[in-house]
Amino acid sequence: MKTPLSNNCRRVVKLIEEASKVSIIHHWDSDGIASAALIAKKYKDKISSFIIPRIGEYNIEAIDVNKLKKSNPDLVLILDYGIPLNQLKILEESIGVKVAVIDHHVNKFMVDAFCNPIAFGCAEEEYPSTTWVLREILDLEDFSDIVALGIVGDLGKAIKDSPLLRWIEENVKSRGLAIDDVFHVVNVIDSCYRLVDYECIDYVRGILIEHEVKDILVDDYLRSKLLKLNEEVSKALSSVKLVKEHDEFIKVFEVTTDAYITSLIGRELAYKHHNSIIVLQHEVKKLNKRCIYIRSYKYSLRSILEAFKSMNMNVGGKDKVLVISCNGETYEIDTIINTIATYIQA
Note whether 7 and 120 are same-domain residues.
yes
Note whether 103 and 11 are same-domain residues.
yes
Instruction: Grade residue 4 by pLDDT with cuts at 50, 70 and 90.
Output: low
| 235 in any annotated domain | no
Highest mean pLDDT (candidates 5-14, 69-78, 123-132): 69-78
Note whether 29 and 68 are same-domain residues.
yes
What are the tens digits of pLDDT across the range 140-151? 888 999 999 999
Residue 2 pLDDT > 70: no
Domain count, the chain: 2
Note whether 166 and 249 are same-domain residues.
no
Identify which of 38, 97, 99, 43 has the alpha carbon closest to the alpha carbon of residue 70.
97
Query: Strand (E) positions, the chain?
Result: 22-26, 47-51, 75-79, 98-102, 114-115, 241-246, 250-257, 277-284, 289-295, 315-317, 321-326
Note whether 118 and 19 are same-domain residues.
yes
Note whether 104 and 13 are same-domain residues.
yes
| 233 in any annotated domain | no
Note whether 220 and 244 are same-domain residues.
no
Note whether 152 and 193 are same-domain residues.
yes
Q: Are 266 and 295 in contact (CB under 8 A)?
A: yes
Note whether 69 and 211 are same-domain residues.
yes
What are the tens digits of pLDDT across the range 307-334? 998 998 888 888 889 999 887 677 889 9
What are the tens digits of pLDDT across the range 244-275? 999 889 999 999 999 999 988 998 999 999 99
| 319 in any annotated domain | yes
Provide the pLDDT for residue 109. Answer: 60
Note whether 115 and 246 are same-domain residues.
no
Mean pLDDT of the chain: 91
Region 219-234 average pLDDT: 96
Q: Are 278 and 246 in contact (CB under 8 A)?
A: no
Provide the pLDDT for residue 16. Answer: 97
Pairing of strands 75-79, 22-26: parallel
| 229 in any annotated domain | no
Note whether 30 and 173 are same-domain residues.
yes
Note whether 58 and 159 are same-domain residues.
yes
29 CB-contact burial (10 Å; exposed 0-12 / middle 13-18 / buried 19+) = buried
| 18 in any annotated domain | yes
Q: Is the dihedral of CA 147, 18, 101, 261 positive or negative?
A: positive
Residue ending a domain, choose from 197, 224, 251: 224
| 334 in any annotated domain | yes
Boundaries of domain holding 47: 3-224
| 220 in any annotated domain | yes
Residue ending a domain, choose from 224, 252, 275: 224
Q: Say how far apart CA 88 and CA 112 lie, in whole Å.
A: 12
Give strand pairing partners of 322: 294, 317
Provide the pLDDT for residue 3. Answer: 47
What are the tens digits of pLDDT across the range 76-125? 999 999 887 788 889 999 999 999 999 998 666 655 789 998 888 888 88
Q: Residue 300's domain is classified under what CATH number?
A: 3.10.310.30
Q: What is the CA radius of gyration of the chain?
A: 19
Residue ending a domain, choose from 198, 224, 250: 224
